[in-house]
Amino acid sequence: MSPAPSTSRSGRRHHAGPLQVLALVNQKGGCGKTTTAVNLAGALARRGERVLLVDLDPQAHATMAVGVAPEGPTLAEVLLEEAYIEQAIVEGPLGLHLLPSRARLIEFEEASERLLHAEQRLQHALDAVRDRYDFVVLDCPPRADGVLCANALFACTRALLVVETGAFALQGALQALRILEGVGESQERTYPVRVVGTLFDRSQRFARELLIALHARFGRALFDTVIRTSVRLREAPAMGLPVHALDPASRAAADFDALAAEVVADRAAAPHEPHALHIGAAPEASALTT
Ligand SMILES: Nc1ncnc2c1ncn2[C@@H]1O[C@H](COP(=O)(O)OP(=O)(O)OP(=O)(O)O)[C@@H](O)[C@H]1O
Ligand SMILES: [Mg+2]
């Protein structure tokens, strides 16, 4: 049976599939996680999808990148169980909703060792708003083995491994997969993983070769879309706008439109996930041993 059509915030009617919760991860700093989270969220919102962007980084870069300076509760208060998620969600550009972050998120990280099932708190919080969204996009901090990333991986329906097409990217990506696998084992769950290349500069031979190597290693799990290096993507966060709000005709917006189209196609294919690697609990299903 096909799902009932729903009306998006933009008024466009579409056939929403099951809620997709995407965790954008890599333990490598500065590889484009936040840029990809913010602009993929923007591209999905522009397509008429109902999108919640969640900032899981105490640095609050995603929060700033959509021009929000939180005055009320944030994800920190939600995870510390001082506020309800509905009180913390705010509206951002392009009809996006944001669950903002602030430095106080570090307090949750510190408190988590004393908490039972600390890694399940985001998932439980999201339960209250699940039917309001088509996509939840989780921007993870660089510490992939920390409790914030564990929350993202526990809550996600799929992980997107963000790989900068630069030096040591393949080794970094494989190391990240091992961390994801370890988290999956400790959480006794398996999740599908897809890989997205970022900061791609076609004029660099090294970057082209790296892309070929990523494809050889990850096959169909590597998205066809690669996010190219773009000045617009550097400018947009300083203006507090996703690139679709700043310059919808830009090359960067086109890249994220293409990525959003692939992510939407993945939803249509769920739960079979033919393109994804399956990482986590079941050792025989390990994509790392193949
Ligand atoms: N495709 C791109 N073109 C140009 N600049 C980019 C691109 N992607 C990211 N950047 C820039 O690279 C820097 C790091 O990107 P970003 O903040 O998205 O990485 P991150 O993985 O979230 O970092 P962290 O690990 O600190 O959270 C930023 O200054 C960002 O503007
Ligand atoms: Mg970031």
Residue-wise pLDDT for 238-287, tens only, equals 999 999 999 999 999 999 999 999 999 999 887 777 788 888 875 444 55
Question: What global pTM score does this model have?
Answer: 0.93
Query: E strands of 106-181, at which residues?
Result: 135-139, 158-164
Summarize pLDDT for 93-124 with one digit per residue, the tens.
999 999 999 999 999 999 999 999 999 999 99
CA of 91 to the centre of ligand 1 (A): 23
24: confidence class by pLDDT, cuts 50, 70, 90: very high
Spatial separation of the C-alpha atoms in residues 137 and 144, rounded to whole Å: 16
- Does the beta carbon of 24 sit less than 6 angstroms from any atom of ligand 1? no
Spatial separation of the C-alpha atoms in residues 115 and 136, rounded to whole Å: 25
> How would CATH label the architecture of 19-285?
3-Layer(aba) Sandwich (3.40)
288: confidence class by pLDDT, cuts 50, 70, 90: low
Mean pLDDT of 14-24: 82
- Does the beta carbon of 201 sit less than 6 angstroms from any atom of ligand 1? no
Mean pLDDT of 157-185: 93
pLDDT at 4 over 50: no
Ligand 1: residue whose CA is nearest its atom 30? 234
Q: Which of 234, 239, 243 to mutate to test the pocket of ligand 1 (most atoms within 8 A of CB)?
A: 234
Q: Which is more confident, 15 or 225?
A: 225
Percentages of the chain per state (helix, strand, coil), in multiples of 5: 45, 20, 35
The pLDDT of residue 77 is: 98
What's the mean per-residue pLDDT of the chain? 91
**Which residue in this structure is represented by tokens 């630069």?**
166
pLDDT at 148 over 80: yes
